[in-house]
């Protein structure tokens, strides 16, 4: 799949989301639907946005026993999303089963990517709560390799980690990276951020951008600025 900018539609209602998307007349951006919107509106919101011609990354981060994940992925696949994800912490077998569930009878399927370590997990939490003795960076690369072994297409990671993922798991392994800000915009609660231009240089395949677009005075102009910076 082609490199692209994905807009994080972090809204809590259908009305707000559709009002936001109505502003895009001549382009149909790739959008991310997360847990908040999905749990508020259910599968109907996915169908509605898909019917309007958008590609969809359904960001639900599944993590359960392999059998449950396989059956749930089968349901999500029938929604005709373009990308979805699981937690790599569920293990290789869970990821394999996720892929199996996602694959339709005709052999097609959405892209499947893995969350390695959440960017909210600090080194302290990793060592003292999760009792993982490796460094965050080593864990991220090891989890990415597990995802590749299971047949997944890539991982969600910080744009600053895209380089080590490509080195560790393969140049063609997809990196989907949130934490993007314009050089002159607010950081909000993000810590390890970079610009669309720099994300392109480091090797992101998809940048996920929320507030710099959704909270902009002119969201369409902000989206176009992102696309230009990212070179798509």
Among positions 41, 83, 208, 222, the unique one binding ligand C5P when judged by CB under 6 A: 208
* DSSP assignment of 37-63: HHHHHTHHHHHHHHHTT--EEEEEEE-
End-to-end CA distance of the chain: 13
Which residue out of 14, 61, 74, 224 is catalytically annotated? 61
Per-residue x/- mask for ligand C5P, residues 18 to 37, rule CB under 6 A? Answer: ----------------x---
3-state class of 34 per DSSP? strand
Q: Which stretch binds ligand C5P (CB under 6 A): 37-45, 101-109, 124-132, 204-212?
A: 204-212
* DSSP assignment of 92-154: HHHHHHHHHHH--TTS---EEEEE-S-TT--HHHHHHTS---S-HHHHHHHHHHHHHHTT--E
Site for ligand C5P in 48-87 (CB under 6 A): none
Site for ligand C5P in 83-122 (CB under 6 A): 118-119
| Least distance in angstroms from the C-beta of 211 to ligand C5P | 3
With respect to ligand C5P, which residue has the nearer C-beta, 29 or 34?
A: 34
Rounded Cα distance, 32 and 10, in Å: 8
Q: Which stretch binds ligand C5P (CB under 6 A): 83-91, 141-149, 206-214, 224-232?
A: 206-214
The answer to whether residue 71 is catalytic is: no
- Is 8 an interacting residue with respect to ligand C5P (CB under 6 A)? yes
| Least distance in angstroms from the C-beta of 232 to ligand C5P | 17
54-85: burial string, b at 16+ Cβ within 10 Å, e else: bbbbbbbbbbeebeebbebbeebbeeebbbbb
| Least distance in angstroms from the C-beta of 180 to ligand C5P | 6
Catalytic residues: 61
């Amino acid at each position: 799949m082609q490199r692209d900018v994905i807009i994080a539609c972090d809204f809590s209602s259908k009305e707000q989301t559709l009002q936001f998307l109505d502003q895009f007349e001549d382009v149909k951006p790739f959008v991310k639907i997360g847990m908040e919107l999905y749990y508020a509106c259910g599968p109907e919101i996915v169908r509605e946005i898909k019917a309007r011609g958008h590609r969809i990354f359904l960001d639900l981060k599944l993590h359960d026993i392999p059998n449950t994940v396989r059956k749930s992925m089968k349901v999500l696949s029938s929604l005709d999303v373009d990308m979805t994800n699981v937690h790599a912490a569920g293990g290789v077998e869970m990821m394999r089963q996720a892929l199996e569930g996602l694959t339709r009878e005709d052999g097609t399927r959405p892209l499947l990517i893995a969350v390695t370590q959440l960017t909210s997990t600090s080194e302290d939490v990793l060592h003292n709560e999760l009792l993982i003795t490796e460094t965050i960076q080593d864990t991220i690369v090891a989890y990415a390799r597990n995802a590749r072994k299971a047949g997944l297409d890539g991982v969600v990671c910080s744009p600053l980690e895209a380089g080590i993922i490509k080195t560790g798991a393969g140049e063609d392994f997809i990196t989907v990276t949130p934490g993007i800000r314009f050089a002159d915009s607010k950081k909000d609660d993000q810590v390890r951020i970079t610009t669309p231009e720099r994300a392109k240089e480091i090797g992101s395949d998809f940048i996920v951008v929320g507030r710099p677009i959704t909270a902009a005075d002119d969201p369409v102009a902000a989206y176009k600025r992102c696309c230009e910076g990212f070179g798509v």
